[in-house]
Amino acid sequence: MNYELVVGLETHVELLTKTKIFCSCKNSFGDEPNTNCCPVCIGLPGTLPKLNREVVNFAIKAGLALNCTINLNSRMDRKNYVYPDLSKAYQISQFYSPICTNGYLELSSGKKIRIHQIHMEEDAGKLVHKSGDVYVDYNRGGVPLLEIVTEPDISSSEEAREYIEKLQMIMRYIGVSDCKMQEGSMRCDVNVSVRPAGSRTFGTRTEIKNMNSVTFMTKAIDYEFKRHIAIIESGEKVVQQTLRYIEETNSTQSMRSKEDAQDYRYFPDPDLVNVSLEKSYVNRIQDELPELPESRFKKYTEVFGIPENDAMLIVKYKNVSDFFEQSSINLKNPKMISNFIIGQIFRNIETESDREKFDILITPKQLNKLAILIEEGKLNMNLAKKTLTKMLETGKGIEEFVSESDMKGLSDEEIEKLCDDAIKSNESAVKDYLDGKEKALKAILGFVMRQTRGKGDPLKIEQKIIEKIKND
């Protein structure tokens, strides 16, 4: 029998607010344990939470970017469970009336992964295992989260990968999160089930908790798919449970039986007022959103004529895309800028995090000026590349490395004379070229370029040499 995979994702995205969701404690990663917490975020009796307005703004931004309906009235609820990293034995979340519903994220295939809801909630603390003991760090407790919940629309591990990578890119573009999975600011709970191909009835699901690597997430999905099939074909039943992924063995391990919503005994939080929004407020946030990666990709490929692979590399990193846009102003051929970025600048920026930062010494205005000089015919590409290398090393502008005489170019008469001299001085190379040895032409061209110190246009000079050889 053939089976099909059914996956739904619950993605937790930590927000880049300065303070936590319900108190004024600093929202900062990597600080000394238990230095960013107070009676409110650890839930001491008698304390009252107050919702951070910026968390609401970020939730609206995320919802709009994911094509959601923004609910003008929503509220916070208590999700009750007991675990050492949750000091007050409940988490403030949203269940009955989330802030965003009914959105979607479109994959490259055109398939739309439906977003069931986006809701605001607080993060729990962190358990630290050390020398056989377990410690609790409450710095993370109360850090604001968005939980983005899909419908069970994902049919393969590769679709899950693309969904997460696109979601990560969108969240970074709109500035709500850095989505650093290695730091836990983006984590996924993966719900997996299996059913006979063509069936509309869902199988029993298992949930793999807290995946913080796209690679391990795809491996875990593939493993669970095979495990479910093996259980079904052996005549047994899949048990609904919560699992952890074991990287060393590429397998999953049971943590506990899988909870349902009723197990958490949700009820409206009595300490927090409802969230009421004006439509004009939502519209203002909509107007402030940047152009999203999908739109930029379409513009780069269809309008600028940039190859899809190159366009994706530019779009992938918001700072790179912003730099590209600013560097391309008033250019006839923006592809020149993408070539410089991918061919020269990326050569010295290898890691994903460094490309995300894109902290380089030159400004978009400096690169734009270089490109304009090329388009005006005042600078040939060879000299431009050498100049750009020096600019990137020093942060200085083009005028520091290229003189007025370098930008004057060569007259047609000068090119004629230089080509004549090159042909006379390289008779053996001319003969080899006429005998069919194409590489011999490079020796003649190199002679001219040395005479001009790289100032001439190699393509134009090469064409002139060929013309002269064939006419002689």
Count of domains forming the chain: 3
How far apart are the C-alpha atoms of 228 and 196, rounded to whole Å? 11
Residue 263 confidence (pLDDT): 82
Domain shared by 319 and 444, yes or no: no
Torsion sign across C-alpha atoms 283, 357, 335, 407: positive
Give the pLDDT band (50/70/90) at residue 404: low
Per-residue DSSP letter, 318: H
pLDDT for the residue 363? 96
Q: Are 326 and 364 in contact (CB under 8 A)?
A: yes
Residue whose C-alpha is closest to residue 381's, from 446, 466, 456: 456
User: Where a domain ends, among 350, 379, 400?
Assistant: 400
Look up tokens 């001219």; give the residue.
448
Distance CA 71, CA 95 (A): 13
Share of the chain above pLDDT 90, in %: 74
User: What residue has token string 């739904």?
Assistant: 8
pLDDT value of residue 207: 96
| 77 or 440, greater pLDDT | 77
Q: Let me know if 436 is exposed, middle or buried by CB neighbors in 10 A (0-12, 13-18, 19+).
A: exposed
Task: Write down which residue in 347, 376, 400 finishes a domain.
Answer: 400
Q: Are strands 267-268 and 77-80 parallel, antiparallel or unpaired?
A: antiparallel
Report the predicted TM-score, pTM, of the whole model to 2 decimal places: 0.85
Which tokens in the block code for residue 160? Answer: 């899950």
The mean predicted confidence, pLDDT, of the chain is 91
Please report whether residue 122 resides in a domain.
Answer: yes
pLDDT recorded at residue 95: 95
Whether the per-residue pLDDT at 405 is higher than 60: the answer is no
In a domain, 241, yes or no: yes
Is 407 part of any domain? Answer: no
Same domain, 176 and 309: no
Instruction: Mark whether 278 and 295 lie in a shared domain.
Output: no
Amino acid at 311: A
Q: Are residues 91 and 130 in the same domain?
A: yes
76 CB-contact burial (10 Å; exposed 0-12 / middle 13-18 / buried 19+): buried
Q: Are both 328 and 355 inside the same structural domain?
A: yes
Mean pLDDT along residues 266-276: 95
Cβ–Cβ < 8 Å for 121, 91: yes
| pLDDT beyond 80 at 399 | yes
Q: 44 burial class (0-12, 13-18, 19+ CB within 10 angstroms)?
A: exposed
Residue 221 or residue 470, greater confidence: 221
The secondary structure of residue 83, as a DSSP letter, is: B
Rounded Cα gap, residues 72 and 54, in angstroms: 16
Query: Picking from 136-140, 204-208, 325-329, 456-460, which range would have the lowest pLDDT averaged per residue?
Result: 456-460
Of 283, 313, 339, the residue that ends a domain is 283
- Consecutive H or E run containing 173: helix 157-173
The pLDDT of residue 361? 95
Please indicate, yes or no, whether residues 126 and 243 belong to a single structural domain of this protein.
Answer: yes
Instruction: Let me know whether 368 and 442 are in one domain.
Output: no
Tell me, yes or no, whether 374 and 228 share the same domain. no
Task: Give the pLDDT confidence score for residue 317 in this predicted structure.
Answer: 94
Token duo for residue 234: 């052996």
Residue type, 40: V
Rounded CA gap, 21 and 54, in Å?
9
Residues 360 and 394 in one domain: yes
Helix (H, G, I), strand (E, B) or coil at 192: strand
Structure token pair of residue 76:
């916070």
Residues 46 and 64 in one domain: yes
d(CA 418, CA 421): 5
Domain range for residue 324?
A: 291-400
- In the sheet with 267-268, reading across from the earlier edge strand, the strands are 90-93, 77-80, 267-268
**Where residue 455 sits, what CATH number does that domain have?**
1.10.10.410
Does 106 fall in a domain? yes
Residues in the chain: 472
Instruction: Characterize 247-268 residue by residue with b for buried, 16 or more Cβ atoms within 10 angstroms of its Cβ, and e for exposed.
Output: eeeeebeeeeebeeeeebebee
Q: What is the mean pLDDT of residues 231-250?
A: 94
Instruction: Find, among 461, 424, 414, 468, the residue nearest to 442 by Cα.
Output: 461
Distance CA(253)–CA(208), nearest Å, equals 9
Q: Is residue 405 situated within a structural domain? A: no
**Residues near 411 by beta carbon (within 8 Å), at least 6 away in sequence:** none
